[in-house]
Amino acid sequence: MRLELLLPIILPLFAGALSLALWRSLWLQRALAVVMTLAMTLAGAWLLHSVSGEGYLVTDMGGWEAPFGITLVADIMAAIMVLMTGVMGLIVTVYSLGSIPEGHERFGYYPLMHLLLAGVAGAFLTGDIFNLFVWFEVLLLASFALMTLGGERAQMEGAIKYVTLNLFASAIFLSAVGITYGMLGTLNMADIAQKVGQLEPEDTGMITVVAMMYMVAFGIKAAAFPLFFWLPASYHTPPVAVSALFAALLTKVGVYALFRFFTLIFDQDVSYTHGIMLWAGALGMLAGVLGAAAQFEFRRILAFHSVSQIGYMIVALALMSPLAILGGIFYIVHHMIVKSALFLVSGVTYRLMGSHELKDLGGFYKHRPGLAVLFLIQALALAGIPPLFGFFAKFAVIRAGIEAGEFVVAGVGLLVGLLTLYSMIKIWAEVFWKKVPDHVTDTDRLTGVVADSSIWLLYLPLILMAIATVALGLFGQPFYTLVEAGAHQLLNPEGYIEAVLGRGE
């Protein structure tokens, strides 16, 4: 029984239930949210510490031994993701304290957030495909409710698409789980991986079919090309803190599931499955960045960029070399920090000027130079400018592409980096550089005439994230070593199988 493996899941679940019981008192809920996300971060750090020492942590739930019961497994990648979930939860909670309207808080914002975090952590840690489905549904349900919180027109419209497409993806996922069980008679990931390796040659065609079903299901959840349409339709509608949380976590769960399945289980027909992913990733990079270039609303630009960044992660997975997987994990961590930070910046500008449209914003460099610096750091990191963290992520992926001889994909990666810079410069020029537009009359909050007592709660997370982006870029060697070990684990699934099934013998 390893407590650190269980805590990241139980803590938010308990906190969610408690928070629901405390619905009469907003202050208790807020305090609980901060304490819980902090505790989850610490639990994640503990988990990562244990995993980096021991390689794998495995626990059977309820004492039912693998491969029969539900097993929780953590390797280095899962532990990093859990730690990041805690960190992002903490950061968004602090930001929410200063930004979420009280009405939203009363309608269950905190319980839902806890539920979402529990679902995400559960999805990262489970070693059972059906359990993964359950965690997916848990986090989806929480995300549906969070997305519609407040019930404005645009939210409803975005939510319907989001809900429909995600439920469709769940149906595909569940069918794939069914076929997997029908063929192999097991649901444990390690056991599946082992049995897939021992299949007769005539069954491998069916395995490829199942692999494609998982790819489509997780692809929808990860917003991979060409399945990403729900993302730009919905991410700009909920409150900014919710957008940031979604941008940090939701698509990453899909990407994580792709990484897990297509390194552990489906690595027989690499040229076929990973070939498809390679081009889906490359086209996703292009489609996202071109979509962003056509947008003039702060959060829509960011949402389209997410599609493009997901493309990089999928290309990294498709290349399947140690450097590429390392780049992929780097990219996921990088994107979690940077994208949510940019969403949070858009929340500050909205708070100060009351709009997300670029044409209605302006003058921030003059009046809020600090915010301009915080934005610039993250924007340059997103575009991959050295020495920020994003550069190393991008560098690893593109270098791996060149080493694998995929020059077109590597070229697309470089081009997309340039176009990302273009989009970021567009935001910079419109929001920060430009003067306050003439038609905007209400500038009291921007110029500081009207004091805003709780705005430090919005700045604090941004400052922390800017420090993280710079620090991981400049002093990233320990992290690099850790992720390198994680990539090694992913590419050698025997260790995972042995850790889950080979205990006690």
Partner 1 sequence: MKSNTLILQTAAIYITPLQLLFSVFLLLRGHDEPGGGFIAGLMASSAFVLYMFSYGVTATRNLFKIVPVDMLALGLILGMISGLPAMFLGQPFLQAQWWDIPLLGDATLKLSTPLIFDIGVYLAVIGTTLMIVVALMESETDHPSGNGD
Partner 2 sequence: MELLMAITIGVLTACGIYLILRARTFPVVLGLTLLSHGVNLFLFSMGRLTLAAPAVLGDSSHHADPLPQALVLTAIVIGFAMTAFVVVLALRAAVELRSDHVDGADPDEDLR
Name the binder of 14 from partner 1, partner 2, none, CB < 5-8 A by kind: partner 1
Q: How many residues bind partner 1 (CB under 8 A)?
A: 20
**Interface with partner 2 (CB under 8 A), residue from 107, 144, 395, 480:** 144
Q: In the complex with partner 2, which residue's Cβ is closer, 129 or 397?
A: 129
**Interface with partner 1 (CB under 8 A), residue from 25, 101, 151, 415:** 151
- Is 102 a binding residue for partner 1 by CB under 8 A? The answer is no
Residues in the chain: 505
Question: Which of positions 296-335 make contact with partner 2 (CB under 8 A)?
Answer: none
Minimum distance of partner 1 from residue 135's CB (angstroms)? 15
| Distance, CA of 194 to CA of 177 (rounded, Å) | 16
- Is 101 a binding residue for partner 1 by CB under 8 A? The answer is no
Name the binder of 387 from partner 2, partner 1, none, CB < 5-8 A by kind: none
CA-to-CA separations, 37 to 8, 12, 145, in angstroms, rounded: 9, 8, 20
- Is 60 a binding residue for partner 1 by CB under 8 A? The answer is yes
Tokens of 367: 């009046």
**Interface with partner 1 (CB under 8 A), residue from 26, 28, 61, 440:** 61
Residue-by-residue DSSP string for 285-339 = HHHHHHHHHT--BHHHHHHHHHHHHHHHHHHHHHH-SHHHHHHHHHHHHHHHHHH
Minimum distance of partner 1 from residue 20's CB (angstroms)? 4
Name the binder of 160 from partner 2, partner 1, none, CB < 5-8 A by kind: partner 2
| Distance, CA of 56 to CA of 124 (rounded, Å) | 14
Residue-by-residue DSSP string for 340-380 = HHHHHHHHHHHHHHS--BGGG---HHHH-HHHHHHHHHHHH
At residue 74, the 3 state secondary structure works out as strand
| Distance, CA of 41 to CA of 15 (rounded, Å) | 14
Minimum distance of partner 2 from residue 357's CB (angstroms)? 19
**Interface with partner 2 (CB under 8 A), residue from 23, 130, 395, 433:** 130
**Interface with partner 2 (CB under 8 A), residue from 26, 45, 52, 137:** 137
- Is 85 a binding residue for partner 1 by CB under 8 A? The answer is no
Give the largest CA-CA distance in the chain.
Answer: 75
| Distance, CA of 272 to CA of 270 (rounded, Å) | 5
Interface region with partner 2, contact rule CB under 8 A, candidates 50-58, 97-105, 160-168, 219-227: 160-168
Residues contacting residue 465 through CB under 8 Å, at least 6 positions apart = 91, 337, 338, 340, 341, 344, 378
- Is 163 a binding residue for partner 2 by CB under 8 A? The answer is yes
Binding site for partner 2 (CB under 8 A): 130, 133-134, 137, 140-141, 144-145, 148, 151-153, 156-157, 159-161, 163-164, 167-168, 170-171, 174-175, 177-179, 181-182, 187
